[in-house]
A = this chain, B = another copy of it.
Amino acid sequence: MDAKVRLYVDQPLGAGQAVAVGPEQASYLFSVMRLPVGAGVLLFNGRDGEWLARVVDAGKRRGALLCETQTRPQMLPPDLWLLFSPIRKERTNFIVEKAVELGVSRVVPVTTRFTQSERWRQDKQLAHAIEAAEQCGATHLPQVADVQPLTQVLADWPAGRLLFWADEALAGHAPALSGVFAAGQPAAVLVGPEGGFSDDEKARLRALPFVRPISLGPRILRAETAAIAALVLWQSSAGDWR
């Protein structure tokens, strides 16, 4: 049975488990995708792995699926947070999508001195994260935090977590990155807004014991490129790409 659709649901999954389908998903599954009774759907809920389920009821506004077999075990992303400043809408959406694909455990939008946009719709961004997880085959869903001032996030910083900061002052100096990231150590990556960080923010970051500046090459990267690059470097040396 070939499943054309992969769907996040917020219900328990397991052998013989029935899954209720609400109005929105019924419309997608049975009207848009035209799945008949008996068709296969892949389901994940962020806890129970991925399951192949079969359509057993396909109504206009409701339906039901029945889980058959587990197709992937539950996989957790490494304990990596992404801290970034919301930018223009399209590029903010892009950062959230890429963070899910590349594999983070938590997305943390922060406002800084030069943040251009404080607009952050937590519900919409969670929906973006779900869509990205459905597409990339992830079985987890990262936490999507509400927007907070960077100063607050730094003041509440949890013990034992390192913060890798893409410091634009290092552009062109290109120190070795190898050896900076360590597997098994809770980590976070911080990228700034367009315009970078203020002098005060930079001084504060440099003074914090859990902050590790990193370089992302000799050119100035846009915020979304810096976010992706830092996540790729961390994943390939300390995360689940090894």
Tell me the A residues contacting B by CB distance below 8 Å.
75, 98, 101-103, 135-138, 174, 176-177, 215-222, 225, 228-229, 232-233, 235-236, 239-242
A-B contact pairs, 15 of them (CB 8 A): A75-B218, A101-B220, A101-B225, A102-B217, A102-B219, A135-B222, A216-B241, A217-B239, A218-B240, A218-B241, A225-B228, A228-B228, A228-B232, A232-B232, A232-B233
Q: Kindly list 16 other residue pairs between chains A and B, CB separation below 8 angstroms, not including A101-B219, A103-B218, A174-B240.
A: A75-B218, A98-B225, A101-B222, A102-B221, A103-B219, A135-B220, A136-B220, A136-B221, A136-B222, A137-B219, A137-B220, A174-B242, A177-B236, A177-B241, A217-B236, A218-B241
In whole angstroms, how far apart are the Cα atoms of A101 and B98 in the complex? 17
Q: Is the CB of A219 within 8 A of B174?
A: no
In whole angstroms, how far apart are the Cα atoms of A215 and B218 in the complex? 25
In whole angstroms, how far apart are the Cα atoms of A228 and B229 in the complex? 8
Collect the chain B residues with CB atoms within 8 Å of residue A218's CB: 75, 103, 240-241
Interface of A is mostly: loop
Collect the chain B residues with CB atoms within 8 Å of residue A101's CB: 219-222, 225
- Which chain B residue has the least Cβ–Cβ distance from A140? B219
Taking the closest CB of chain B, its distance from the CB of A92, in whole angstroms, is 14
Collect the chain B residues with CB atoms within 8 Å of residue A219's CB: 101-103, 136-138
Taking the closest CB of chain B, its distance from the CB of A128, in whole angstroms, is 13
In whole angstroms, how far apart are the Cα atoms of A215 and B220 in the complex? 27
Taking the closest CB of chain B, its distance from the CB of A176, in whole angstroms, is 7
Taking the closest CB of chain B, its distance from the CB of A83, in whole angstroms, is 19
Collect the chain B residues with CB atoms within 8 Å of residue A174's CB: 240-242
Taking the closest CB of chain B, its distance from the CB of A217, in whole angstroms, is 4
Interface centre among A217, A219, A236 (most CB of B within 10 A): A219
In whole angstroms, how far apart are the Cα atoms of A177 and B177 in the complex? 15
Taking the closest CB of chain B, its distance from the CB of A78, in whole angstroms, is 11
Given A228-B228, A236-B233; A103-B241 close (CB under 8 Å): no
